[in-house]
Amino acid sequence: MTSPALEFDNITKQYRSFFHNESVKALDGFSLRVEQGEIFGFLGPNGAGKTTAIHIALGFMFPSSGRGLMLGRPFGHAATRRRVGFLAENVAFYHRPAGRLVRFYGALNGMHGPQLRSCTAELLKELELSEVAGRNASKFSRGMLQRVGLAQALVNDPELLILDEPTSALDPLGRITVREILLKARNAGKTVFLSSHLLSEVEQICDRMAIVIKGRVARVGTVSELLEAQNRFVITARGIDELLFEGTRQNGFIKITVPALGQRQAIEKIWLAGGEVIAVNPIRRTLEDLFVELAHKNGGPHTEKRRQ
């Protein structure tokens, strides 16, 4: 069994106010395992603790309790970060030309010489930044900055790519480009940890995902597992009287929604009525449905505050 790319083990992160009379739990017994070579979607409402988890993994913060591993080494291990690419939410850079910025961050990761120059040029081209590589990044739009951010995250050809809202400011073409880059990275055996509010994007490219609510993992699994776990089925039939069945008629077919336990009974009823069963499909919720359901079930999105 290979070691995970990222593993959070029962991590709690509690912020205290200056006078310690109020505390906020951003993460509360947070455990998660991200396997190598997968694109992992990391979802949750605002304030759920996603960014806190990412910052703890990268060593920007220390957990109040619990521990974790990144590429087999404890969180915060500097040498391990050389094998990781990170793009922060609300990315900010020094006021320097885009090309030099990417080279600067690559050099901080120990790259140099022709390898750094060629990797930078290649990435700038891929992210359609070649023409503006000489322009100061301080004059860039948010979308352009996000592209520069992706370039600096990818320049060291990382084994693990941690992206916090990487496409939030990109136009649709930019999103497609990023999607292609992420899929290419996955196909090359890299791991991508993708935090995003763009549910359609997560649904399209992620192998597995976790939904975080109030600092805990509320649900984790493959996209199909999570979306088909509703235990309701749609039976498509024809040749029956629609008045005998509660369903909707469409193009000569009747679609009947039944619970999993009533599936056999419904099929037999169709057959007895002389009908023909065309298909039985599990109901696939949208990710948005699941997200909203979990957020409501857990009493809203905000982090727990309590006075001590």
CB neighbour class for 18 (10 Å; exposed up to 12, middle 13-18, buried from 19): exposed
Taking CB under 8 A as the rule, does residue 217 contact another protein? Answer: no
The only residue of 39, 43, 48, 185 in contact with another protein, by rule CB under 8 A: 48
Of residues 80 and 167, the one with the C-beta less far from another protein: 80
- Residue 108 binds another protein, judged by CB under 8 A: yes
Q: Which is nearer to another protein, 157 or 289 (CB)?
A: 157
* Torsion (CA) 2, 205, 44, 153 in degrees, nearest 10: 70
The two three-digit tokens of residue 47, written as one number: 């304030």
Measured CA to CA, the distance from residue 234 to residue 257 in angstroms comes to 5
Closest to another protein by CB, 162 or 256: 162
In the bound state with another protein, the residue whose beta carbon lies nearer, of 158 and 174, is 158
If DSSP states are collapsed to H, E and C, what string results for 3-71? CCCEEEEEEEEEEECCCCCEEEEEEEEEEEEECCCCEEEEECCCCCCHHHHHHHHCCCCCCCEEEEEEC
| Beta carbon nearer to another protein, 4 or 47 | 47
Phi-psi region of 90 (alpha: psi -120 to 50; beta: other; left: phi over 0): left
Question: Where does this chain touch another protein (CB under 8 A) — which range of 92-100, 182-190, 223-231, 262-270?
Answer: 92-100
Instruction: Restricting to residues 133-152, name those near another protein by CB under 8 A.
Output: 149, 152
Cα separation, 34 vs 75, whole angstroms: 14
Work out whether 28 is an interface residue with another protein (CB under 8 A).
Answer: no
Nearer Cβ to another protein (104/253): 104
190 binds another protein (CB under 8 A): no
| Residue 112: CB minimum distance to another protein, A | 8
CA geometry: angle 265, 270, 271, nearest 5 deg: 100
Q: Which of 61, 205, 206, 266 binds another protein (CB under 8 A)?
A: 61
Interface residue list for another protein (CB under 8 A): 15, 26, 46-52, 55, 58-62, 78-84, 86, 88-96, 104-105, 107-110, 112, 149, 152, 303
